[in-house]
Structure 1
């Protein structure tokens, strides 16, 4: 999970102030273009984070009620506003949240998807630009005459980075004419790392998570109608992913690569924030643990090694801007656990052929 550079440019970017002109990018059914400049000097970003520390915020929609999609978007924006003092880099929102928990009849997916995206997503894009954060904004979109349950990644300038289309639709969604997305999920580049997405029912199929891990996603956002619980923790641990969920009910959570929930919402707090450090790697404890004393002797408190005895995982993490995991791995022969498993499997295949 280490990066080829220490992202010093990102930190300079985070601390700059002044006017940021927000240009629009065409999306599936409209544009997220914002006509006015947005002043980033309204936000004071912290400068004491590690180069690859990412602050993730999530919300839960359970107790939010509204009379229309537009009103629901306004309430979600208000809820997002409560996270601003934590200076999030990424905010996650629930599955097609504009049409959830409405007191009136729910609009059809087609009605939402064929309306100009700016009518619903513009407030989210404005928030992202004003507060200099990425936002995952789930909604319906159309493309090629078909309607999709989707999530749009919006960047710090309020621009559309890209769209993920839900792969595994429910029977109800299929009956309504929604189309499944491409079987190979995209991975999006951000200034802090690679981000992928899954949506709700996708959680029951392990191949989506696996594909994202193989494509080097580091953070996966999971907008959903339900909480996911242990399934999310298993997906995070199995694929060595940071997973941030945002749900319409129960609990939204942020899980580290170990599968541990490091932040959760509850009836008392409808939003949660966690800081994750992507400058780390997961290794199989044996026999790599033999070099741990040498690593400690060289780096001291500039690194942290956390070992899970029963799982035989160890996580080697940089705690200093001066230390890169790639350099430690090269010097001490650390092999990420997934690469180790691929190497062993290749040897197993050769041995099987020799029988």
Structure 2
């Protein structure tokens, strides 16, 4: 049964404020700026909006740890309340990343996910901080990697430097989220499709600094991307899907396509040996199709090969 989710990713270019302004005025200007940023994608009625790392801190303020801390203390939860109102008014989820002062008085670089009613339903604190964050900004590493339940599926998060560490990626390989939300000031290059493929998850990158923000499929294909002209992108993805290897499945896939035609999609990125099959009908689910044609998922195939080695 198709499970389409419309996703908007928003990047950003530098947004600066006059440094002589009172901090309260800086926050007000940032709120107006963010309202304008979201207004670019709201007409498409997305189910989920993902914003880049430190999305609500002016670029020139962030150059100074002391000014950043002062700004964040004055800002408090004002911008989260703004996003909660916008999420509720538009019936969408919003992934809101920023620097937060926690109840235990520690600073965390985190993403809060707001649901369609504007309520916070989960928070991920960056597990792998840069030395600058730790030594200059006094940020504390997160230790948890929660999987957040949304009405369309399960969501995991990663922030910037996290993408370099297998420890976190392997946790998501095991937990198998439907979506990975990546908010960052660093693009990650080849790591983005690698994470998507290794976790068998759709991947949403919201990248600051004018770098491309994109939505990737579980076989690493870019489905939609911001451009040099527009720093946002919106696309729909079907979460009722599975990654399968071509070994031993070629004839089964031909039979599948012959029977179901356009009711099933097979996306081949090339050079990978694996494809993404998606159920495009409400008559059945991807699991029904896999069972009907005895199609072997990629992970099951790799385990069968590994078992063969262990038996030697």
Task: Specify if TM > 0.5.
Answer: yes
User: How far apart in 2 are the matches of 1:112 and 1:161?
Assistant: 25
> Equivalent residue of 1:150, what SS?
strand
User: How far apart in 2 are the matches of 1:283 and 1:70?
Assistant: 49
Partner of 2:21: none
1:169-248 equivalences under 5 Å are 169-175=129-135, 176-182=137-143, 184-248=144-208
For the 8 Å contact 1:285–1:307, the answer to whether it is kept is no
For the 8 Å contact 1:93–1:223, the answer to whether it is kept is yes
Alpha-carbon RMSD across the aligned residues, in angstroms, is: 2.2
1:165 and 2:129 aligned: no
> Equivalent residue of 1:136, what SS?
strand
> How much has 1:231 moved relative to structure 2?
2.2
For the 8 Å contact 2:202–2:215, the answer to whether it is kept is yes
Residue 290 of structure 1: which of 240, 251, 266 is its match?
Answer: 251
1:58 and 2:16 aligned: no
Q: Deviations over 1:224-255 (max 9, x none)?
A: 11222332122223332211111221221111
Q: Deviations over 1:296-347 (max 9, x none)?
A: 2332221122335532112221111213111011122222212322343244
User: Quick one: structure 1 residues 202 and 69, their matched pair in 2 at CA, closer, same or farther if it must change by over 3 Å?
Assistant: farther
**Which deviates the most, 76-85 or 143-152?**
143-152
1:99 and 2:57 aligned: yes
Partner of 1:81: 39
Unaligned runs of 5+ in 1: 1-5, 7-50
* Misfit runs of 4+, over 4 Å: 103-117
User: Quick one: structure 1 residues 260 and 306, their matched pair in 2 at CA, closer, same or farther if it must change by over 3 Å?
Assistant: closer
For the 8 Å contact 1:263–1:273, the answer to whether it is kept is yes
For the 8 Å contact 2:6–2:234, the answer to whether it is kept is yes
User: How far apart in 1 are the matches of 2:106 and 2:123?
Assistant: 15
Residue 119 of structure 1: which of 63, 66, 78 is its match?
Answer: 78
Question: What TM-score results when the alignment is normalised by the length of structure 2?
Answer: 0.88
User: How far apart in 2 are the matches of 1:70 and 1:210?
Assistant: 40
Unaligned runs of 5+ in 2: 19-25
User: How far apart in 1 are the matches of 2:308 and 2:103?
Assistant: 44
Question: What TM-score results when the alignment is normalised by the length of structure 1?
Answer: 0.78
Partner of 1:302: 263
For the 8 Å contact 1:221–1:245, the answer to whether it is kept is yes
User: How far apart in 1 are the matches of 2:58 and 2:300?
Assistant: 41
User: How far apart in 1 are the matches of 2:67 and 2:305?
Assistant: 50
For the 8 Å contact 2:161–2:186, the answer to whether it is kept is no
Q: Deviations over 1:115-163 (max 9, x none)?
A: 6743221111111111111000012231433221101000100000110
Tell me the matched-pair count: 301
User: How far apart in 2 are the matches of 1:300 and 1:125?
Assistant: 42
